[in-house]
Every structure is written in structure tokens, then in C-alpha cells.
Amino acid sequence: MWDSSPFRGVGGDSASKGPDLKKIRDMAGIKTFEDLKIDVIDRGLCSMCRGCVTFCSASTLEAISILKGKPDYVNLENCLSCGICYSICPRTSPLEKNLREAYGYKMPIGTYHDAYSLRTTDLQIQEVCTDGGFVTGFLKYLMDEKVVDSALICKREGIWSSQPMVAMSFKYLLKGAGSSMTVSSSIEDLDIYTTYIPSLLALKGMGDFPTKLAVVGTPCQISTIRKMQLLKIVPSNIVGFTVGLFCYENFHFTEKGRRALEAKIGANLSKVEKINVKDAFLVTLKSGEVRRIDLDDLQDLVRPECLPCTDFTNYSADVSVGGLGSGDGYTTVLVRSDEARGMVERAIERGYFAEDKEFEKETSIRVVENVARRKHDRGLKKLKELGIEPDSHE
């Protein structure tokens, strides 16, 4: 089994030997899925990262699955009451201190070794990317250099449709370039457009494969993977590199919500060419016109599951990326380790990326920090509204 420990994950060979149930029960306080339902799911805290379902499926227990849009029992008799699902949840606190210590978390954006503003030099990526095309370009670099042999991304099937996929070549990486919304397939009997993609479900059953996988994800998704790696459980053993997306919030739109959004942008959603979220919700129409909507004006459309989250910059990823802090056509990149910095530097040296010569690092970091604090404060406020002591989430 390939050992991912040179990067920021701590998976590796021991993951294939099975989890230490006593250690897990001790670390998780012997809390089970019943507790997860009470503490997280029933209180509206579940981020729908699917980490609990991904582990339960990957370990062949199949005790829980997604029912009516939420994790729930499907085979109660298969549940071992091991506490793993509870401990790896990004909304629970048993492993939070361990995670923050492992990745040197500090307010407001975590530990980073350097910051860049980059644009891909690949013309094919430039044609379809959202900002600077860093994610697709860097995944190509990682695959070219045999650092990983595949990448978990979202396959773009149009502006309103994306699905998680494992890309094993540049041809398929291109299918994931750019951002889009997706019709959620996990919420039964509802037709809801959402900007959130349940990527981790694509890891089901992959834990026994001798593969080296890069994962692109939101803070809740990367946090779940990191907690899995702390416990050395499948399928996190195959994750060798993580690209964390800046994430202020995701949106979903019922029919009423779609009409409200159309009113805000002054156009039918069929006229939308591209969406992007920086310090505002940016909509590019097929005519080329860009409509800007303040994030506070979209609160009724925000996924409620996003509101308790306090992590904007994805502090436990190997690299964290987003358009915020960079000029048009460039991506802000925070490297979280010396290994990651070396890779980004080599990718630049080998011509994969061009740097923004006008990039002012300190100014950019301040912009990112301001939005990170804004999200952090909102998350703490929401936790207090739910009657949850925020200290465990600081």
C-alpha cells in the first residue's frame, strides 16, 4: 500500500490492517451513529459531506446510507457501534483538537508557508476554467510527475450539472474545469439546484486499490478525510494529496429560490454561462455581462448546513485555492507545507503556470483573512443560536 505520509495526511499501510476499535472508542467518547443523529443530523448541522456513509460503505459494513437526503440506518444489525462515523464528522469535536494540532491551525486562515497568484499556461484549460485554472493545471502536473495517478474531481456536464468522478487522464481533468451547479441526486423527490457536490461518495470501494489519489474538496470534505487519516481508516489511505477550495458557502435553489435568483440577476437561469463566488456571488451571462450580488443578499438561498461552518480557507489541505485575493484570470494559492511549496515552485519552473507580476501578497492575504473572519464569526453566531458551546469549534 502506498504511504501518503510525506504530505499532510497520515494514512498509509496501517489503514489496510483495520482500525483499532479501542483507540477509536476512547477518542470518540464511545459515541455512535445514534449520537450523530441526535447531535448533528437532527439539529441541522450535517454538512452532507457523506464521510460517514463513505467509510461505512468502504469498510463493507453498509449499516448506513443516504435516505431522503440525510444519513440514516439501512442495516441497523450491521452497525458495530464503533464510533467512527461520529469521530470523523466535520461537525463533531472529539478529533477537532487533534486535527488542529496536526495541521497547525491558527486564526483566521491557518498555517501557510507561502502564497501565490497563478494562471495556467495551458490553452485548453484557459478556455474552460473559472479563475486562473490552477486546480486543473496542478492536478495535471501531479499526474505528469507521477505524484498521483488519479484525481477526485467534479465532472462538468453544463452550467447546472456536475457529478463527482475519478479522472485518470488530462482528457478527464478538463471535464472538471470550471465551476457549475448540479441537480442534487441525493435529495429524494426534490428538484434542487445546488452548488455543493457530494464528491466523497466516489471513494466508496476504492480503499483496497493500489492507487495514489488527489482529492479536490470543500473544507468539510477535506476535514473528514483528515480525520479518517488521523485514525488510519479506509478509504483515506489512498489519498495522497488534497486541494482545498476556499468556501464561504454553497447554495441550493428550490423553484421559489430559482425565481428569486433570476430576479436578482435580472435574467433567466438559462442565460447563465458561469458562476463564481469570491467576496460576492458573480454571474456571467452568455452575453458576456457580469452581474454581482452581495453574499448577504443571498442568505435565503444558502444551504443551512453551511451556516455553522467556520473554516473558509480549508486549513488542513495541502494547498488551498480560490479566486479571492487575486486579479481577474488568476488563482490565489496558499501552500500549507514545505513539500507542497516545492511542488508548486517546480510546476512554475516547468512552465505550467505564470505568476501575476502585480500580485501584492500582504494585501491579498488581508483580503482573504477578512472574509475568513467574516465566515468564522457567522459560524460561531449560528452555533450559539443552536445552543452549542462554540469553544469546541474555535
Q: Does 189 have pLDDT greater than 90?
A: no
Q: Which domain holds residue 133?
A: 13-18+93-251+302-393
How much of the chain exceeds pLDDT 90, in percent? 44
Structural domain contains residue 136: yes
Q: Who wins on pLDDT, 251 or 43?
A: 43
Please report whether residue 259 resides in a domain.
no
Q: What is the pLDDT of residues 236-247, one digit of tens each?
A: 888 999 999 999
Here the cell at position 32 is 455512535
d(CA 208, CA 61) in angstroms, rounded, equals: 15
Does residue 294 form part of some domain?
no
Contact 45, 373 (CB under 8 A): no
**Is residue 366 a part of any domain in this protein?**
yes
Residue 142 has a CB neighbour count (10 Å cut-off) of: 21
Give the mean pLDDT of 138-144: 96
Alpha-carbon distances, residue 176 vs 81, 205, 231, 250, 259 (angstroms): 37, 22, 30, 18, 27
The residue with cell 480557507 is 313
pLDDT band at 253 (very low <50, low <70, confident <90, very high): low
As a residue count, the chain comes to 394
Residue 10 has pLDDT above 60, yes or no: no
Closest Cα partner for 241 from 129, 135, 341, 151?
Answer: 151
Q: For 148-181, give one letter per residue: b (16+ CB within 10 A) or e.
A: bbbbbbbbbeebbebbbbbbeeeeebbbbbbbbb
Q: How many domains does the chain have?
A: 1
CATH code at position 362 = 3.40.640
**Average pLDDT of 192-201?**
48
Contact by Cβ (8 Å): 334, 346? no
What is the average pLDDT value for the chain, to the nearest integer? 81
Question: Is there a domain that residue 153 lies in?
Answer: yes
Q: Is residue 159 part of a domain?
A: yes
CA separation for the pair 151, 345 (Å, rounded): 20
Model pTM score: 0.82
Q: Is 284 exposed, middle or buried (0-12, 13-18, 19+ CB in 10 A)?
A: middle
Task: Compute the chain's Rg from CA coordinates.
Answer: 20
Is residue 7 domain-resident?
A: no
- The reply to whether 122 falls in a domain is yes
**Picking from 142-151, 184-193, 268-277, which range would have the lowest pLDDT averaged per residue?**
184-193
Range among 116-130, 157-171, 184-198, 251-265 rated most confident: 116-130
For helices 51-58 and 219-231, give the axis angle rounded to 10 degrees: 40
